[in-house]
Amino acid sequence: MKKYLRAIICSFAAVSFTASNASSETVLSLNSWLPPSHPYVIDFIKPVMADIEAVTAGRVTVEFLPAPLAHPSDTFELVRNGIVDISYAVQGYSPRRFKTAVLAEMPFLSDDAVISSVAFQRVHASMLADAGEYDGVKVMAVHTHGPGHIFSSRDIASVDDLEGQKLRTGSIVAQDLAKSFGAVPVEGPASKSYELLSQRVVDGIMFPSESVEFFRLLTHLSTAFLAEGGMYNTAFMVIMNEKTWNQISQEDRALIEPLLGEALAARAGKMWNTVDAAANETLGASIHMYRASADDVAALRERFRPVVDANIALASEAGVDGRAAYNMLLDEIQKLTTQ
């Protein structure tokens, strides 16, 4: 079935490419797997693609496919194999495939998604790209979401109250962090969060603020546990098939390039900051927002240390200096914070 689907898509792409050449236009296909109403799609991906069309005076356009062609974890292969031209993905949905991305999922990075995203992009361009994990695609940008928190249906008055809670997590790093403070991680996609909470399969979730509101989880939550810099984060990539990129004229690539890299990472971060800020207002009026004390954070840092060290070692397995890359990430965050 997969081979049949791919044959159909490739045939369609070939026809589209021929038609595009005839009209001196390049029409790119984009696979989007988040709900069409999600702010990531409406306020980030769509405006960026519109800007690509604008700067190239319509010579390069992007068409969104009517439905996702695969599970989010298979997105990278869709793009690398040329089945679609562009998509976005979460590295953590493919455990151990993108070893270097775990550095951007560490705890206590930043409360500002622009800062964490631009810092991640800088480290990727300077050090992490050398690992070759993204061979076959043009990395338009890597970025993070906003700081990740813990939201629970149970009362939280200290870090000790996290012990024993069943928490929905979305990545291996988040799972390991949850285990380190005595919680029981339950793996599940974000789209299943309402079901997991409403059926009491879990006590809470590890999410950025925006996602709590978007997935309408407030009625099943009573408390948020927030720590400065976030309890965890999530790495994202926006990618284009490498051959597709190279087939775009040199003139148009030069016009598109300034939209990518740090500029695109910052744009993603700005979107997350905006939606998180709006969500925090709603959350603050609806549930108790427990802010971790200095003692809480100190205790968590100690518990998280083995997880941090293990993931630095994992990044090193990809052929880069994981410790140096992590230190660069922290340094870049510090520089951006003080600017």
Which band of pLDDT confidence, cut at 50, 70 and 90, is reported for residue 24? low
Which band of pLDDT confidence, cut at 50, 70 and 90, is reported for residue 96? confident
Handedness of CA 123, 272, 50, 80 (dihedral sign): positive
Which amino acid is residue 306, in one-letter code?
P
Once rounded to an integer, what is the mean pLDDT over residues 297-326? 97
The answer to whether the CB of 233 falls within 8 A of the CB of 177 is no
Question: If phi over 0 gives left and psi between -120 and 50 gives alpha, with beta otherwise, what is residue 247?
Answer: alpha
Strands laid side by side in the 204-207 sheet:
184-187, 166-169, 204-207, 149-152, 223-226, 288-291
Question: What's the pLDDT score for residue 284?
Answer: 94
Q: What are phi and psi of 331, to 5 degrees?
A: -65, -45
Percent of the chain at pLDDT exceeding 70: 93
> CB neighbours of 105 closer than 8 A, spacing ≥ 6?
92, 144, 171, 173, 174, 232, 233, 234, 235, 311
Q: Are the folds of 2-95+110-144+234-274 and 149-232+287-338 the same?
A: yes
- How far apart CA 285 and CA 287 sit, in angstroms, is 6
Residue 22 has pLDDT above 60, yes or no: no
Q: What is the DSSP string of 267-322?
A: HHHHHHHHHHHHHHHHHHTTSEEEEPPHHHHHHHHHHHHHHHHHHHHHHHHTTS-H
Question: What's the pLDDT score for residue 95?
Answer: 80
Residue extents of the structural domains in the chain = 2-95+110-144+234-274, 149-232+287-338
Which band of pLDDT confidence, cut at 50, 70 and 90, is reported for residue 11? very low
Tokens coding 316? 């090193």
Kindly report, residue by residue over 149-188, the tens digit of the pLDDT: 999 999 999 999 999 999 999 899 999 999 999 999 999 8
Q: What is the DSSP string of 147-158?
A: -BEEEESS--SS
SS3 assignment, position 7:
helix
Average pLDDT value over all residues in the chain: 93
Helix axis angle, 294-317 to 322-338, nearest 10°: 130
Q: What are phi and psi of 317, to 5 degrees?
A: -60, -25
- DSSP annotation of 202 reads -
The answer to whether the CB of 223 falls within 8 A of the CB of 151 is yes
The answer to whether the CB of 116 falls within 8 A of the CB of 335 is no
- Measure Cα distances from 159 to 154, 156, 242, 291 in Å: 13, 8, 46, 10
**Topology given in CATH for the domain delimited by 2-95+110-144+234-274:** D-Maltodextrin-Binding Protein; domain 2 (3.40.190)
Kindly report, residue by residue over 217-239, the tens digit of the pLDDT: 999 999 999 999 999 999 999 99
Which CATH number applies to 149-232+287-338? 3.40.190.170
Tokens 């298979």 identify what position?
A: 74
pLDDT greater at residue 278 or residue 6? 278
Question: What's the pLDDT score for residue 77?
Answer: 98
Residue 19 has pLDDT above 70, yes or no: no
Residue 16 has pLDDT above 90, yes or no: no
